[in-house]
Amino acid sequence: MPLPSYFSDYLKLDDDFEQSVPLKQQYSVDYIYRPPNQGFMRPKLYNFIRTETIYFLSPRKVLVHSLQQGRGFTYADRFATESVIVMTQTQPETENENIETTDFKVRLEEHYRINWF
Protein backbone atom coordinates (compact mmCIF):
# COMPACT_ATOMS: atom_id res chain seq x y z
CA MET A 1 0.00 0.00 0.00
CA PRO A 2 1.58 3.33 -0.98
CA LEU A 3 1.95 6.05 1.62
CA PRO A 4 -0.75 8.73 1.59
CA SER A 5 0.09 12.02 -0.08
CA TYR A 6 -0.04 14.07 3.13
CA PHE A 7 3.13 12.37 4.36
CA SER A 8 4.83 13.70 1.23
CA ASP A 9 4.37 17.24 2.45
CA TYR A 10 7.08 17.03 5.08
CA LEU A 11 8.89 13.75 4.47
CA LYS A 12 8.88 13.60 0.66
CA LEU A 13 7.68 9.99 0.59
CA ASP A 14 6.06 8.95 -2.65
CA ASP A 15 6.24 6.13 -5.19
CA ASP A 16 9.62 7.35 -6.46
CA PHE A 17 10.92 7.24 -2.90
CA GLU A 18 9.77 3.61 -2.51
CA GLN A 19 11.77 2.56 -5.56
CA SER A 20 14.82 4.69 -4.79
CA VAL A 21 15.45 3.01 -1.41
CA PRO A 22 16.99 -0.40 -2.08
CA LEU A 23 17.13 -1.53 1.56
CA LYS A 24 13.73 -1.97 3.11
CA GLN A 25 11.99 -4.57 5.21
CA GLN A 26 8.24 -5.02 5.48
CA TYR A 27 6.22 -7.29 7.72
CA SER A 28 2.62 -7.61 8.89
CA VAL A 29 1.26 -8.83 12.20
CA ASP A 30 -2.34 -9.97 12.51
CA TYR A 31 -3.62 -9.84 16.07
CA ILE A 32 -6.87 -10.07 18.03
CA TYR A 33 -7.93 -7.90 20.96
CA ARG A 34 -10.60 -9.14 23.36
CA PRO A 35 -11.86 -6.26 25.54
CA PRO A 36 -12.14 -7.16 29.24
CA ASN A 37 -15.50 -5.37 29.67
CA GLN A 38 -17.59 -5.70 26.57
CA GLY A 39 -20.09 -2.86 26.33
CA PHE A 40 -23.57 -2.91 24.89
CA MET A 41 -23.63 -3.38 21.09
CA ARG A 42 -19.84 -3.66 20.88
CA PRO A 43 -17.99 -6.52 19.20
CA LYS A 44 -16.55 -9.32 21.32
CA LEU A 45 -13.30 -9.31 19.36
CA TYR A 46 -11.33 -6.70 17.45
CA ASN A 47 -9.08 -7.92 14.62
CA PHE A 48 -6.19 -5.70 13.58
CA ILE A 49 -3.46 -5.91 10.99
CA ARG A 50 -0.33 -3.90 11.67
CA THR A 51 2.03 -3.40 8.72
CA GLU A 52 5.47 -1.96 9.31
CA THR A 53 7.93 -0.91 6.64
CA ILE A 54 11.48 -0.07 7.68
CA TYR A 55 13.56 1.97 5.24
CA PHE A 56 17.33 1.98 5.71
CA LEU A 57 18.17 5.35 4.18
CA SER A 58 21.82 5.36 5.20
CA PRO A 59 24.00 3.71 7.87
CA ARG A 60 22.94 6.49 10.26
CA LYS A 61 19.34 7.11 9.23
CA VAL A 62 16.31 4.79 9.45
CA LEU A 63 12.67 5.53 8.71
CA VAL A 64 9.84 3.36 10.10
CA HIS A 65 6.34 3.60 8.63
CA SER A 66 3.58 1.83 10.55
CA LEU A 67 -0.04 1.33 9.49
CA GLN A 68 -2.68 -0.27 11.73
CA GLN A 69 -6.03 -1.24 10.23
CA GLY A 70 -9.01 -2.93 11.83
CA ARG A 71 -11.10 -5.61 10.18
CA GLY A 72 -14.08 -7.79 10.89
CA PHE A 73 -16.20 -5.31 12.87
CA THR A 74 -18.56 -2.45 12.08
CA TYR A 75 -16.80 0.55 10.49
CA ALA A 76 -13.45 -1.25 10.73
CA ASP A 77 -12.49 -0.07 7.27
CA ARG A 78 -13.14 3.58 8.25
CA PHE A 79 -10.26 4.03 10.69
CA ALA A 80 -6.53 3.61 10.25
CA THR A 81 -3.69 4.76 12.48
CA GLU A 82 -0.41 5.70 10.83
CA SER A 83 2.96 6.71 12.18
CA VAL A 84 6.28 7.67 10.66
CA ILE A 85 9.38 7.64 12.85
CA VAL A 86 12.70 8.95 11.54
CA MET A 87 15.80 7.98 13.55
CA THR A 88 19.05 9.80 12.81
CA GLN A 89 22.30 8.97 14.57
CA THR A 90 24.44 11.99 15.39
CA GLN A 91 27.95 12.31 16.69
CA PRO A 92 28.88 15.20 18.98
CA GLU A 93 31.30 17.80 17.71
CA THR A 94 34.85 17.37 19.02
CA GLU A 95 37.65 19.86 18.92
CA ASN A 96 40.25 17.26 18.00
CA GLU A 97 39.45 15.29 14.84
CA ASN A 98 41.81 12.45 15.83
CA ILE A 99 39.87 11.56 18.95
CA GLU A 100 37.37 8.76 18.43
CA THR A 101 34.24 9.15 20.45
CA THR A 102 31.65 6.53 21.25
CA ASP A 103 29.07 9.01 22.51
CA PHE A 104 26.48 8.78 19.80
CA LYS A 105 23.02 10.24 20.06
CA VAL A 106 19.86 9.47 18.16
CA ARG A 107 17.47 12.20 17.09
CA LEU A 108 13.84 11.05 16.75
CA GLU A 109 11.17 12.66 14.62
CA GLU A 110 7.71 11.23 15.12
CA HIS A 111 4.61 11.94 13.05
CA TYR A 112 1.21 10.37 13.79
CA ARG A 113 -2.11 10.40 11.97
CA ILE A 114 -5.53 8.91 12.60
CA ASN A 115 -7.36 8.52 9.32
CA TRP A 116 -11.14 8.65 9.29
CA PHE A 117 -12.59 7.77 5.94
Q: In three state form, how does the secondary structure of 89-114 look? A: EECCCCCCCCCCCCCCEEEEEEEEEE
Q: What's the rounded Cα separation, in Å, for the pair 44 and 36?
A: 9
pTM: 0.68
pLDDT in tens, 63-84: 999 998 888 777 766 788 889 9
pLDDT in tens, 87-96: 998 876 666 6
Q: What's the rounded Cα separation, in Å, for the pair 82 and 62?
A: 17
Q: What's the rounded Cα separation, in Å, for the pair 77 and 15?
A: 23
pLDDT in tens, 34-67: 888 877 877 778 888 999 999 888 888 899 999 9
Query: What SS3 state is found at 87?
Result: strand
Backbone phi, then psi, for 57, in 5-degree steps? -75, -35
CA-nearest of 55, 52, 50 to 87 is 55
